[in-house]
Amino acid sequence: MSRYEVRLSGAGGQGMILAGIILAESTLDNDELNVVQTQSYGPESRGGASRAEVVFSKEAIDYPKVIQADLLVALTTEALDKYGDDIKKTAVVIADSDYIDLDYNPGDGVEYYSIPIINTAIEEIGLKLTANMVALGAASHFIPDLSEEEILKTIASRVPAGTEEKNKEAFKAGKKLVSEMKS
Amino acid sequence: MDVNIDKYLRQDKLPHIWCPGCGHGTVLGSFVRAFDQSGLDQDKTVVISGIGCSGRASGYLNFDTLHVTHGRALTFATGVKMANPELNVIVMTGDGDGAAIGGNHLIHSSRRNIDITVVLFNNNIYGMTGGQFSPMTPTGDTATTSPYGNIDQNFDLCELAKSSGATFVGRGASYQPRKMIKLMKEGLLHKGFAFVETLTQCPVNYGKRNKIGGARDMLKWQDENLVPAKKYEKMDPAEREGLISTGILHQVVKEEYTDKYKNVINTVMAGESNE
Amino acid sequence: MSKSITLLLQGDEAVVEGGMAAGADFFAGYPITPASEIAEGFAEQLPEKGGKFIQMEDEIAGMGCIVGASLAGAKAITATSGPGFSLKQENLGFAIMVEAPCVVVNVQRVGPSTGLPTSPSQGDIMQAKWGTHGDHPIIALSPSSVSETFDLTVTAFNLAEKYRIPVILLLDEIVGHMREKITIPPADELEIVNRKKPKPEDNDNFYPYEETEDLIPPMPDYGTGFKYHSTGLFHDKTGFPRGKTEDARKLMDRLMGKINNNLDDIIHLEEDLNGDEDVVVLAYGSTVRSAISAVNQVREDGVKAGWVKLKTIWPFADDYVRELAEKVDRIIVPELNMGQLIGEVKRVAAGKAEVTGINRYDGTLITPADVVAEIKGAL
Amino acid sequence: MARKGKVKIARPDWCKTCGICIEVCPVEVLELGNTRIQIAHLENCIGCENCELSCPDFVLKVVEDNE
């Protein structure tokens, strides 16, 4: 794979940066895959816009930030509005279907998935805080060369003790949301 | 007293640069006598001073000595003590160095109760730079920067150190070298943050400008206004007006900072090996 | 530890790993975005190895504290960002004057003043050189990746110990906060330098600031019986103040000389040049990454371009850049500031090559496309 | 209080003639000269060491009588 760029965006406190870290860290044992994870956030740890970026490549990664996303995840109206156009013509866009109020028109080549990320976390998992893992699961479906097993292992090591199973479930639920739509 | 103070002084750096009648030399003399009585190891002792007349004290003392930036002696001292808690660490500072620009460090060193002994030379003025008022210049007094009388309030440094958490607080004066020696010795032997304020006269830039007079007159003033702490405590507030208490003002036993950190290291390292 | 380990780390965390690997046993500092992770890492790791961490009351105190620790024998480090770096300057100058080895990390954010606390900048390049008052030597290093941050932290400690000087490690927010995979080599594969110390028997004839042949006097730990004096005043070899002009000049010459006589050892850089370049992009820190990307892109179009990465910012690589300027038509200097290091490049390239800058100072990065445009515009 | 000896001008060159020793001497042993302190009435000295301890310049020392 040459360069593959992922942007995870939402509001501060939604855990998108943690999702980005988990994506990046799940490549640790894959010697052939390079990764750079960056983030952008305001000075406060809750609220405000927040985004994590992960760039994957089998070659050396020079520029560390997303230039044009191959994959965009947006949890808020603000995020989709801000980054929705900054994507490749063949990009995948995943957006929350219930919490986004925006008349979004992706280009013709874009695969657009409007899915209930936050409500899946609330209703299916019973823990709103796992919305980031639902998003991560959905996103992981499209990123080449990632191992689900490694991601689940990384989730277990990165989320608060005691919430490992809920987070893993959330990840799987997210993945299911898009794979069902895709098939 | 029967001590040979010569070994604690860098003879080749003396006579010192302090003005005739300056009380700093008396404080310095009291310090070396107190140090001798303390029984502490000269080779394991570091003296750190800041800027101003008091700052020059370290250069005259035969220890590892460090003459640092204005007001920051306690920060360097904290580094020395933390890096090697076996060392005796002494800070020499003044009322400008220690109470104005370095006031924050005084508060926080007190709060940590780190085992450092501070000797603060309080001459109520910025002497070296020519007589500007300091936080210890009494309200109403004249200085080159308060030509119409100082409108600032001076404060009680011993109360400040005590309320900030210092576990040894005392005040000595150049008119009472014997008491000052005893006080400093107790301060040196105290485990924890020891703050010793010493009243010292600046005849050139404070005494003469404020009509107190020369060195001898300033000592007379001390004689008339100093009261031992125990007596002071028993006095009515009205009686205390204008008087200054001397001696040990506060001493409590409390766990010392580098000891606490040693516990952190021990706990962490024990936890590591258990894994 | 005898085998390497691979981790996903932030640049800030790599400072901690590099510091621990270099033998750091003391950290003092004050929390500040985007450098706080460095303090947090040392707070956790130092006591595991018997080292010391202390959070001071302010930035000034953090700097004073590490100098005190250094004189007591510690390998000491502090970390900050722009506002804190400003506050540390006076005590940084003191460290230079008393020749106390230590490492000062500045994870640069956009300034002046509070600026943009969470956005990257390379705005403190000149402050690193001239921030403290008066003439003085300084060493400043700047990594462009997480892995390089580890390496240059080790180098920073080694240079500090070897030359008895504070070494400034200039990260920027991007390098400080980005995560990359990094393989940490086994401890026995790292070269670690420790300061020269006098022998106890040297005590009788000991001059703490003697002009030794290498201009770097041996440095005793406090408490080992040398009972010596150090001061921020100009001093002679005894360490005591001397206000005389010839002594002042002698001390300044020695302080500068110990660095200037060893530029080959201190200046680290990398290049990718074929020898026939028309244009070279000279960069440092995170900006290097866009330079490399852009050069690779334009080479595919047949443009004769190359890149140079400066890992040592100060002392500036005068000789190298002078020779480079003789060989190429143009040098492009991308910087996340309004043009700081470009002044040095222009100074040494004057009359030899054209020098142009690419500058961003709004908290966003210079992209490869920005650099490509500048390269193509030059042709 | 040690009363083992009498005052001596141990380091005459360091004296800055501030007169503090005269102020603290209970028995009028010392007098100011032009450039340094002088012992005017050694016979009065009771060896109290007030002068030695107060002298800011380390000039005076109380020593054994026979020294």
Residues A95-146: tens digit of each pLDDT? 999 999 999 998 899 999 999 999 999 999 999 999 999 999 999 999 999 9
Which one of C6, C36, C179, C299 makes the best mutation probe of the A interface by having the most chain A beta carbons within 10 Å?
A: C179
* CATH number of the domain to which A82 belongs: 3.40.920.10
Q: Cα(C264)–Cα(C374) distance, rounded to whole angstroms?
A: 31
pLDDT of residue D1: 46
Higher pLDDT, C320 or A48: C320
Residue A39 touches partner C, C-beta closer than 8 Å: yes
How confident is the prediction for chain C on average, in pLDDT?
A: 97
Task: Report the pLDDT averaged over residues D36-59.
Answer: 96
How confident is the prediction for chain A on average, in pLDDT?
A: 94
Q: Which residues, other chains included, contact A128 with Cβ-Cβ below 8 Å and sequence gap of 6+?
A: A118, A121, A122
The answer to whether the Cβ–Cβ distance between A36 and C178 falls below 8 Å is yes
How confident is the prediction for chain D on average, in pLDDT?
A: 91
Query: Three-state SS string across chain D, please?
Result: CCCCEEEEECCHHHCCCCCHHHHHCCCCCEEECCCCEEECCHHHCCCCCHHHHHCCCCCEEEEECCC
Q: Which residues, other chains included, contact C49 with Cβ-Cβ below 8 Å and sequence gap of 6+?
A: C20, C25
Q: At residue B50, what are phi and psi to the nearest 5 degrees? A: -105, -135
Residue C290 touches partner A, C-beta closer than 8 Å: yes
Interface ipTM: 0.95
Q: Hey, what are C314's tokens? A: 């100060």
* CATH number of the domain to which D50 belongs: 3.30.70.20
Q: Cα(B6)–Cα(B36) distance, rounded to whole angstroms?
A: 11
Q: What is the pLDDT of residues C255-285, one digit of tens each?
A: 999 999 999 999 999 999 999 999 999 999 9
Report field, pTM of the whole predicted structure over 0.90: yes
**Chains C and D in direct contact, meaning 3 or more beta-carbon pairs closer than 8 angstroms:** no
pLDDT of residue A48: 74
* Residues with pLDDT less than 70, chain B: 1-2, 272-275
Residue A43 touches partner C, C-beta closer than 8 Å: yes
For the cut 80, the answer to whether the pLDDT of residue C176 exceeds it is yes
Q: Domain span at residue D22?
A: 5-64
* Number of domains composing chain A: 1
pLDDT of residue C244: 82
Task: Report the pLDDT averaged over residues D37-46.
Answer: 96
* Number of domains composing chain D: 1
For the cut 90, the answer to whether the pLDDT of residue D4 exceeds it is no
3-state DSSP call for residue B126?
strand
Query: Which has the closest alpha carbon to A63: C307, C289, C287?
Result: C289
Measured N-to-C along each axis, helices A131-140 and A148-158 cross at an angle, to the nearest 10 degrees, of 160
Q: What is the pLDDT of residues C128-174, one digit of tens each?
A: 999 999 999 999 999 999 999 999 999 999 999 999 999 999 999 99
pLDDT of residue B19: 97
Partners of A39 on chain C (C-beta within 8 Å) are 177
Query: Which has the closest alpha carbon to A72: A10, A142, A6, A143?
Result: A6
Query: Which has the closest alpha carbon to B188: B206, B215, B168, B218?
Result: B168
Q: What is the pLDDT of residues B107-141, one digit of tens each?
A: 999 999 999 999 999 999 999 999 999 999 999 99
Q: At residue D6, what are phi and psi to the nearest 5 degrees? A: -135, 160
Q: Cβ distance C304 to C330 under 8 Å?
A: no
State the DSSP code for C48: G
**How open is the CA angle A179-A37-C79, to the nearest 5 degrees?**
155
pLDDT band at D64 (very low <50, low <70, confident <90, very high): confident
For the cut 70, the answer to whether the pLDDT of residue C24 exceeds it is yes
Q: Domain span at residue A82?
A: 4-182
Residue C7 touches partner A, C-beta closer than 8 Å: yes
CB atoms within 10 A of CB A109: 10
The answer to whether the Cβ–Cβ distance between D23 and B9 falls below 8 Å is no
For the cut 70, the answer to whether the pLDDT of residue C348 exceeds it is yes
pLDDT of residue D2: 47
Chain B nearest-CA distance from D52, in A, is 9
Measured N-to-C along each axis, helices A16-25 and A131-140 cross at an angle, to the nearest 10 degrees, of 40
CB atoms within 10 A of CB A18: 19
Residue A46 touches partner C, C-beta closer than 8 Å: no
pLDDT of residue A47: 62
pLDDT band at D66 (very low <50, low <70, confident <90, very high): low
For the cut 80, the answer to whether the pLDDT of residue A177 exceeds it is yes
Q: Which residues, other chains included, contact A161 with Cβ-Cβ below 8 Å and sequence gap of 6+?
A: none
Can you point out the beta strands (E) in chain C?
Answer: 5-10, 26-29, 52-55, 76-80, 102-110, 116-120, 139-141, 166-172, 179-184, 229-231, 269-272, 279-283, 305-310, 312-314, 330-335, 354-359
